[in-house]
Chains A and B, each alone.
Chain A
């Protein structure tokens, strides 16, 4: 038998209480990380360069003389810094991310690989057209799918995100109205709409009026009809709406709007619920943006980039923006921009962005669509709706579900804070959900439900994941109803406790300031 001289022994857990505080502030895998301005140096760099040839300069006397103040890190330090920061984030890769109307579904890694193929990632937007035929074909194939899935007539691919797509749609509407010499001033938006809808209408030069919802959470058709008139340019509808309900009167709404000479804009944020099940074109919609970063799984990246192609009806398609990719009878692709627009697309209202839109998102979305196919996309909607209804019915006995009695929901389930103990609100439930290992749902939106909690599980959650979430929600809901004030302390296990947002807004600190050098002693 050999002797172990090192003193090593297998560990046996002891029961003594440990120190709660550590000298570093770290707690094992929960690591604190300073700012680069506190750890880097302007003399450090993590990039090696070829020798710079010595020669005169041509800078017109504009050489920079003052330091910039940009700290650098070596590669190992940079990778560690941002890896440590990344671990303070929740993400769909870590668990269910039930933000209603945000459609946080799994982001397939094939899409990341495809987007990085050199023929897509390393191509300049102003390369001659004969050198980018494959890129134009991607745009064209994706456009073809989007048109078939929505039953629409034309598509503008260049908008950079959902709100940018809304703007594109409204500008098409404005151009169409002006083309017939009809200047209208008002856009109608339901109370339950996303904030981007009224903001976009204002950005496009319209005044905004609300239309009320009825008790069943739908657009009040009679109130809408009563308000329609020669001053109304468009009605912006979200369908399925932000209460997670399909607007059963959609066709009647569209017909009434059209009869009044106005157009129907549909916010397509919730298209995931109906893709492959019903086509917006069949509902009388004139324009709808599609968030590729929602329905078509391109990653949300902590707040973008998104991509918001807009599908258009026959009435609006002639006014879509430049540039766009077109397929010619010989099978080749061309970019239609200002130069040939006079012949090929004379009604274009203008240009929304410098180049062709979010190519890196087009490749990902196309890979996603081809992976699912027509059958898979239909299954996406069905599973997304089934998952949401499963959550709705599994929680309806412990949380107030204001529209549960009126039937099934679509892709998201909505609850209110009715019945919570004194002093407790939706935010307390949400923050407690963080301690249980979940990202909270969308809170206090839509505005038509008090203390709204909008839960969208998406189709990429397993039943086991949903059951875990339901278990956590039932427990927290019971605590909230019992008036458990300890919820106000949540979260207690996250990298940070509740943050002081009031202080941040009152005394904004938006950039790092180097500490003042210490005063020399007199």
Chain B
């Protein structure tokens, strides 16, 4: 078997050294009646690399590939072009096959990269500090709510109706067990966000206000008045960013007063991958760093005075603090963080601005064309690369009808909010730099037909 180096001769030599007459003797603590005799019945035996590759190729071909069709899906996962050099870097065995950097003398590569990642995330989000990554955006948002609870010692969070419904579901799931109170609402198909509702809901028991920016319908709104109202009541503002490319063009949540900014980093450097692995981004004010979850890389010096990096402030973490830790997170998403950093380093500020401008210009063009289809209305006043259309028919069947024409034409709000009648005609459309003129033509034609 190709991944197992021991030969039959090795095994018998080693058994002799161990002082066992058979391999079974080493398993003697496993009660005999429970031990499996041979390979588990009904399961296939080992296979060649060629055979496995063939099987997996066949499964791969049973999916519609985003890059092979006109593709306009977003809602928390975005298709951007990832330069080849980014994947090359994360496939370096020294990064790919390394562990969490517990031994800093031989992990400076990972640690310095994480220090660069933390700095990039902090600057992009307009925050003072960032951690070395979380699982994804949705779990980061719950961790932020939980962190705000520890900081304010209050247990009520007001969540904007513009937050991704899956993220809200994750928070509701956890809150059920921690008994945190969450004030949630459903979005409306209108250009205005629920900023006024949020501000009106803040009271002396509010721990945090949670806002997504841009939100699930692609809307963008000034966070400063919400931050001001939250701070006046002693609450924190948590901003959630699911499309960080937007921040190349629009103000960061930090500069508008957000205290904790979390996000999904997938859209920079990480592919769609049917939902994972992705990379959670987590940034905050320096004064709150000891309440932060997750790993942190920090700068220090070695015995000879040379600059080096280590994992630090680990007294917050589960392997030291156990049940008193700020989170139970251990393994996070470092390799995806590396892809994020390699891609963002390749872009630089200039490239990020260009990428964001290109996305926005393309989205404006598509919005204009689709809104010209009779019966189709553009919901948003303002947006970055994603906007919502109100169709004259239910959007879910329209999406399936477009699939039949070979077009992946957006996410229907019916999929995200099943059973909510007022949202059934909503279609969320994302437009990135990967969309071609021919894609737009095909989408326009398919949508026209689907709403007829």
Contacts and interface: CB of A to CB of B under 8 A. Distances in A.
Contacts of B327: 199, 203
Contact of A162 (B38, B167, B330): B330
Interface string B376-393: 000011111000000000
Interface residues of B, number: 212
A131 B364 CA distance: 28
B300 A42 contact: no
- 10 A-B pairs with least C-beta separation: A72-B348, A355-B275, A60-B382, A350-B173, A301-B335, A134-B62, A119-B60, A125-B275, A93-B93, A305-B277
A345 interface: no
A494 B46 contact: no
27 contacts: A35-B112, A47-B346, A53-B365, A60-B381, A64-B251, A68-B252, A82-B345, A87-B94, A114-B56, A126-B76, A126-B411, A134-B59, A149-B40, A291-B331, A303-B100, A305-B331, A338-B418, A339-B418, A349-B176, A353-B139, A371-B2, A379-B1, A382-B26, A387-B6, A430-B103, A504-B299, A510-B130
A41 B344 CA distance: 12
B277 A431 contact: no
Nearest to B43: A374
Contacts of B222: 60-62
Contacts of A229: none
Interface string A23-58: 000000000010111001111111101101111111
Interface in A239-277: 245-248, 251, 274, 276-277
A408 B26 contact: yes
B339 to A, nearest CB: 10
Nearest to B81: A47
Given A114-B53, A373-B39, A511-B122, A75 B10 contact: no
Contacts of A300: 97-100, 331
A82 B96 CA distance: 13
A99 B99 contact: yes
B196 interface: no
Interface string A185-212: 0000000001110111111110110000
B186 interface: no
Given A47-B83, A134-B61, A512-B115, 9 more contacts: A47-B351, A49-B354, A53-B365, A87-B94, A198-B323, A274-B30, A303-B110, A385-B23, A463-B13
Contacts of B52: 110, 114, 367, 370-371
A66 B353 CA distance: 12
Contacts of B97: 91-93, 104, 106-107, 299-300
A440 B276 contact: no
Interface stretch (B153-161, B203-211, B311-319, B440-448): B311-319
Contacts of A63: 249-251
A107 B11 CA distance: 22
A380 B83 CA distance: 37
Given A354-B167, A371-B2, A46 B346 contact: yes
A45 B164 CA distance: 32
Contacts of B317: 195
Contacts of B304: 497
B346 A301 contact: no
B91 interface: yes
A72 B349 CA distance: 7
Given A49-B355, A70-B124, A119-B62, A42 B350 contact: yes
Interface in B326-341: 327-336, 338
B79 to A, nearest CB: 7
A374 B272 contact: no
Interface stretch (A10-18, A356-364, A473-481): A356-364
Contact of A510 (B35, B298, B349, B365): B298
Contact of A408 (B18, B136, B169, B170): B18
A196 B318 contact: yes
Contact of A302 (B101, B105, B308, B355): B101
A123 B63 contact: yes
Interface string B144-173: 000000000000000000001011011011
A94 B98 CA distance: 10
A304 B333 contact: yes
A196 B138 CA distance: 20
B251 A62 contact: yes
B347 interface: yes
Given A87-B94, A131-B408, A360-B277, A117 B85 contact: no
A78 B342 contact: yes
Interface stretch (A164-172, A220-228, A310-318, A417-425): A164-172
A491 B105 contact: yes
Contacts of A407: 28-29
Contacts of B274: 120, 123-125, 132, 135, 355-356, 359
Contacts of B26: 382, 385-386, 389, 408
Interface residues of A, number: 208
Nearest to A113: B53
B25 to A, nearest CB: 7
A94 B276 contact: no
B14 interface: yes
Interface string A364-392: 00110011111111111011011101101
Given A385-B27, A503-B300, A373 B346 contact: no
Contact of A128 (B94, B166, B403): B403
B108 interface: yes
A435 to B, nearest CB: 10
Choose among B1, B89, B315 the residue with the greatest number of A CB atoms under 10 Å from its CB. B1
Interface string B351-365: 110110110111011
Interface string B288-302: 010000011111111
A352 B173 contact: yes
A351 interface: yes
Contact of B178 (A205, A278, A282, A306): A205
Nearest to B264: A354
A57 B303 CA distance: 54
B318 A351 contact: no
B63 A131 contact: yes
A87 B109 contact: yes
Interface string A163-183: 110110001001000000000
A256 to B, nearest CB: 16
A195 B365 contact: no
A496 B39 contact: no
Given A60-B382, A355-B274, A499-B302, A86 B73 contact: no
A383 B39 contact: no
Contacts of A213: none
B98 A372 contact: no
A90 B108 contact: no
B360 A58 contact: yes
Choose among A65, A201, A511 the residue with the greatest number of B CB atoms under 10 Å from its CB. A511
A461 B399 CA distance: 51
B119 interface: yes
